[in-house]
Amino acid sequence: MSRRNPRVGFVSLGCPKALVDSERILTQLRVEGYDIVPSYDSADVVVVNTCGFIDAAVAESLDAIGEALEENGKVIVTGCLGKRAEVIREAHPDVLSISGPQDYASVMNAVHAALPPKHDPFLDLVPPHGVKLTPKHYAYLKISEGCNHRCTFCIIPSMRGDLVSRPVDEVLVEAEKLVKGGVKELLVVSQDTSAYGVDLRYAEREWRGKAHATRMTGLCEGLAELGAWTRLHYVYPYPHVDDVIPLMADGRILPYLDIPFQHASPRILKLMKRPGAVDKVLARVQAWRKACPDLTLRSTFIVGFPGETEAEFEELLDFLREAQLDRVGAFAYSPVDGAKANELPGAVPEELKEERLERFMEVQADISAARLARKVGTRQQVIVDEVDEDGAIARSKADAPEIDGIVRIDDGHALKPGQIVDVEIIHTDEHDLIGRLAA
């Protein structure tokens, strides 16, 4: 009787960029003969890919490590919180190994030490996306690591380092394989998609017999050839974003931009070490919408940043009303261990932060509801995510998975996940749409 394969349990926490890291580690484990199992008690060792961006994420990661130790005993830790090994060791001194994000070799070495592979390991890690943690019809496409910004509220550069872009041909080859494998939607992620390629001086690389620059525009031009939905996340509003809007207007990539504005007061943006030319941003948004009327804009904001006055918070609300963003997320400022913003004076009381957050979301809820209401009676192309007894749950071109709204199709029982169909919108609320299959 042959010896069973060694078995690894796996926990993936954090953002889509961490999810891509998890997919790469899982792919390598599979290649080397490890079985991935869904429970701690059936695993020979457990890998926990952590998040460490905000205090709540740190707590969740430490809880996950503790649970894995309690139920299994052999735990390997990787990911962003791994950059703060002392925090992990203090809470859980018995973990086998700690490594930071993208340190795939250290993870595999730790797994080998705890559980020798059944097959000889490759000298190099295999490409990502042999194993996918997303549904078959969409995938995250990570184009770079790290970030050159030094926002005072953020510690990502200390965890993931400075910007390191992947050559454009490497990204396009991966995207092409994903589409050939059945992926209908590519979600482009990074810490700063607009800065893609600046570290490589926008070097040109050949793909499909044509030179493409390693920059956002060159990447989008290549992705537009694949026939899949392409959705851009984490895009800073730099001037060269203008060059991508025609691709959206022509229907070659999705008319969707995820832009982390964070605030609208020039003084607060300066304290955050963020771009502060709010008038130029508004002008750019208006120009984009004129060139591409179907453009969806999503963003995130921080309220209650240290020193934020009532007048500056009102500036933020005025920006919301003028910008008329389609999708908005926000959170009350929370100190992050190691962030420069912790040293700023004028901490906003917790009660006031929460009150401002509530007011912010009330303003945006009215804006979102009004913008969605305009879609009633229109025909929208949607992608189906799941089908249940009540019909189908889909997303329009304006909706990224998990963070935006959905389109409920009451007569969609015969549809299948991954199908792209046309629906007529018959009803809406402040978040979601309800439609029926178009004739």
Residue range 79-96: mean pLDDT, rounded: 94
Residue 287, number of CB atoms within 10 A of its CB: 12
Residue range 187-215: mean pLDDT, rounded: 95
pLDDT category at 305 given cuts 50, 70, 90 is: very high
Degrees, nearest 5: CA angle 117-119-122:
95
Which of the 8 DSSP states describes residue 214? S
Task: Please list the residues that pair with 149 across neighbouring strands.
Answer: none
Residue 290: both structure tokens together? 């004129």
Phi, psi at residue 149, to the nearest 5°?
-75, 160
What does 247-266 look like in DSSP terms, one character per residue?
HHHTTSS-SEEE---B---H
Is 153 in contact with 342 (CB distance < 8 Å)?
no
Is 170 in contact with 219 (CB distance < 8 Å)?
no
> Which of 198, 212, 194, 209 is CA-nearest to residue 164?
198
- Tens-place pLDDT, residues 309-322: 999 999 999 999 99
- Tens-place pLDDT, residues 123-144: 456 666 678 889 999 999 999 9
Q: Which residues line the annotated binding site for [4Fe-4S] cluster?
A: 15, 51, 80, 147, 151, 154
Q: Which residues line the annotated binding site?
A: 15, 51, 80, 147, 151, 154
Please write down the long-range contacts of 156-164, taking CB distance under 8 Å and 24 or more positions apart.
156/53, 156/80, 156/191, 158/83, 158/338, 159/52, 159/53, 159/80, 159/83, 159/100, 159/101, 160/80, 160/101, 160/102, 160/191, 162/199, 163/191, 163/192, 163/195, 163/198, 163/199, 164/199
Task: Quote the CA–CA distance of 200 and 166 in Å, as a whole number.
Answer: 9
pLDDT of 2 > 80? The answer is no
pLDDT category at 228 given cuts 50, 70, 90 is: very high
Task: Quote the CA–CA distance of 410 and 408 in Å, as a whole number.
Answer: 6
Residues 426/428/433/439 CA torsion (nearest 10 deg): 10
pLDDT of 337 > 60? The answer is yes
The three-class DSSP label of residue 27 is helix
Residue 333: both structure tokens together? 């400022």
Task: Quote the CA–CA distance of 398 and 377 in Å, as a whole number.
Answer: 16
Residue 273: both structure tokens together? 């070490």
pLDDT at 311 (0 to 100): 97
Task: Quote the CA–CA distance of 323 and 286 in Å, as a whole number.
Answer: 8
User: How high does pLDDT run on average in the chain?
Assistant: 92
Phi, psi at residue 327, to the nearest 5°?
-130, 130
Residue 53, number of CB atoms within 10 A of its CB: 18
Is 356 in contact with 304 (CB distance < 8 Å)?
yes
pLDDT of 122 > 60? The answer is no
Residue range 244-254: mean pLDDT, rounded: 97
pLDDT at 128 (0 to 100): 63
What does 349-403 look like in DSSP terms, one character per residue?
PHHHHHHHHHHHHHHHHHHHHHHHHTTTT-EEEEEEEEEETTEEEEEETT--TTT
Bigger pLDDT: 275 vs 231: 231
> Which of 38, 92, 43 is CA-nearest to residue 65?
92
Task: Quote the CA–CA distance of 377 and 366 in Å, as a whole number.
Answer: 20
Task: Quote the CA–CA distance of 283 and 269 in Å, as a whole number.
Answer: 18
Residue range 106-135: mean pLDDT, rounded: 77
> Which of 251, 232, 139 is CA-nearest to residue 194?
232
pLDDT at 298 (0 to 100): 96
Domains and CATH numbers, the chain: 7-114 (3.40.50.12160), 138-375 (3.80.30.20), 378-437 (2.40.50.140)
Residue 246, number of CB atoms within 10 A of its CB: 12
- Tens-place pLDDT, residues 36-60: 998 998 999 999 999 987 888 899 9
Residue range 340-347: mean pLDDT, rounded: 93
Give me Rg for the CA atoms of the chain.
23
Residue 239: both structure tokens together? 């001037």
pLDDT at 123 (0 to 100): 45
Type of residue at 17: K
Q: How many CA atoms lie within 13 A of 8 on its CB side?
A: 32
Phi, psi at residue 197, to the nearest 5°?
90, -10
Is 364 in contact with 411 (CB distance < 8 Å)?
no
C-alpha distances out from residue 389 to 171, 254, 411, 412, 413, Å: 39, 30, 10, 10, 7
